Structure 1
Amino acid sequence: MSTITYPRLIKRVRAVLIDSILTIVAVATSLSIVSAVGVSSGIAKIMLIVLPILILDPILVTVTGGTIGHHMMGIRVTRIDGLSRINLVAASVRFIVKALFGWFSFIFVLTTARHQAIHDLVAHSIVIHKNPAGLASYDVLTERLPHNDPYIYPSAWRRFLITAAYWVLYTIIISVRAAIFTSQTCLDHQSCSESEAITSFALSLLLLLGIGWITVRGWSGKLYGGRRKLRTPSQAD
């Protein structure tokens, strides 16, 4: 395992964002085809929508070792050995768990020894660099060993509670901003102007991104109230 190197979380997030955009485009295209062809069967409609999603994630992961986003970021999904690709069953389970847990799954990348998200742990998979040669040293991570971590972290419960408090505060701030920029008619009757709809979408996106950022910062011990501390020489022993 010492020869296996792992990507930073930001690289995996970028891969997910790329895949999300491609999935939206693929599903929208499928819906257009369904409408243009005039498909009436409910099962056929569902299959035409689900098929591109399956192709873009579990099937590509099984056949090529990663999604389009993974390949664009220079990373791939393998079994724990870091050599062989996972099978379709594992890739499908991995995809389902990732879809269920969303961004929360990636928090575990910051704490697990092999930088695994929840869906990696369930599928017994890891995400590694395709070719670490030539990458900057800060982009190349190795297996996380307790005695190599220079920081002491607050307990998991403390980090969770601090993070949850920041979630609540941030959500209140975004909600107040939304109330300021949204008319009463839009709030009560969902009759919103184009500018209000755009503002609402922007605030919703900002809320999602903010929650994700807070979660990552909180779990890695970088929020006030639950900050990590440098080990002293005596604590490193």
Structure 2
Amino acid sequence: MATITYPRLIKRVRAVLIDWVLTIVAIVISLWVGNAIGVSSAIAKLMLIVLPILILDPVLVTVTGGSIGHHVMGIRVTRMDGVSRINIVAATARFIVKTLFGWFSFFFVLTTTKHQAIHDLVAYSIVINKNPAGLASYDVLTERLAKNDPYTYPAVWRRLLIIAAYGFLYGFILSVCSAIFISETCVQYQHCSASETITSFTLSILLLLGIGWITVRGWRGRLYGGRRRPRTSPEPG
């Protein structure tokens, strides 16, 4: 069996952006068609929104091995064997978790052995390159080998708990900064001065980058409370 290779994170981000644009377009068309044929029920209108979303992600992932964004970027979603497609239950769970966690889910791609996001871990799926032979070397990633790792790591639940705790503390600090430098008028009524707009944008970027840094460092056992430890070599004899 061919060696499994994984795409860079930027390819997965581009695939999500493509899917996001296509989903919005599909929803607008779906609602327009529904309005044209006289759909008036609230439930029916809700279905006009939900169906395009489900078709463009979990259904396509199950039937074709990826969303339109995945195919455009030359990547596909498979089971852990790198060959079989995931079923509709796993694809739906994957989509729900990806939606709930948003960009935070993708930070795990930078540190997990098989370059998996949180939604991949939940669905027992991986994202691989379709045709790695035609790609540049920097676009072809291999599994992160742990057998020569000189460290032992805390349990997964403990690392996740540490990441959540640090993330909450960091978010609280940024919230305090926001309360100090951004007026209530700006927050509630969106009447912001130029400096408040810049400050708000800066805090948003810092939140995203900080959560990413905390996630990567926490998963690698580099945060206090969940630090990795050097392996103890067995004594000779």
Is the TM-score greater than 0.5?
yes
User: Matches of 1:179 and 1:132 in 2, distance apart?
Assistant: 49
User: Matches of 1:210 and 1:21 in 2, distance apart?
Assistant: 27
Give me the identity figure in percent: 68
> CA offsets, 1:132-151, max 9 Å, x none?
22332574213x55314x35
2:51 corresponding residue in structure 1: 51
Query: Is the 1:217–1:223 Cα contact (8 Å) retained in structure 2?
Result: yes
2:141 corresponding residue in structure 1: 140
2:84 corresponding residue in structure 1: 84
Query: Is the 1:31–1:49 Cα contact (8 Å) retained in structure 2?
Result: yes
Note closer, same or farther for the CA distance 1:166–1:128 as it changes in structure 2 (3 Å cut). Answer: same
Aligned positions of 1:88-107 closer than 5 A = 88-103=88-103, 105-106=105-106
2:190 corresponding residue in structure 1: 192
Aligned positions of 1:1-237 closer than 5 A = 3-27=3-27, 30=30, 39-103=39-103, 105-106=105-106, 109=109, 114-133=114-133, 134-136=135-137, 139-142=140-143, 144-148=144-148, 150-156=149-155, 159-160=159-160, 162-186=162-186, 190-193=188-191, 202=201, 203-204=203-204, 206-222=206-222
What root-mean-square deviation, in Å, do the aligned CA atoms of Structure 1 and Structure 2 show?
Answer: 4.0
Structure 2-normalised TM-score?
Answer: 0.70
User: Matches of 2:13 and 2:67 in 1, distance apart?
Assistant: 13
Note closer, same or farther for the CA distance 1:177–1:17 as it changes in structure 2 (3 Å cut). Answer: farther
Structure 2: state its 5+ residue gaps.
none
Note closer, same or farther for the CA distance 1:120–1:38 as it changes in structure 2 (3 Å cut). Answer: same
Aligned pair count?
230
Secondary structure (helix, strand or coil) at the match of 2:147 reads: helix
User: Matches of 2:124 and 2:52 in 1, distance apart?
Assistant: 25
User: Matches of 1:135 and 1:49 in 2, distance apart?
Assistant: 39
User: Matches of 2:183 and 2:68 in 1, distance apart?
Assistant: 41
Structure 1-normalised TM-score?
Answer: 0.70
Quote the offset at 1:83 in angstroms: 2.3
Note closer, same or farther for the CA distance 1:195–1:41 as it changes in structure 2 (3 Å cut). Answer: farther
> CA offsets, 1:51-95, max 9 Å, x none?
221122112212331123322432101233322323334322332
Note closer, same or farther for the CA distance 1:23–1:174 as it changes in structure 2 (3 Å cut). Answer: farther
Query: Is the 2:151–2:229 Cα contact (8 Å) retained in structure 1?
Result: yes
Secondary structure (helix, strand or coil) at the match of 1:40 reads: coil
Give the stretch that moved more between structures: 127-136 or 111-120.
Answer: 111-120
Give the stretch that moved more between structures: 118-127 or 49-58.
Answer: 118-127
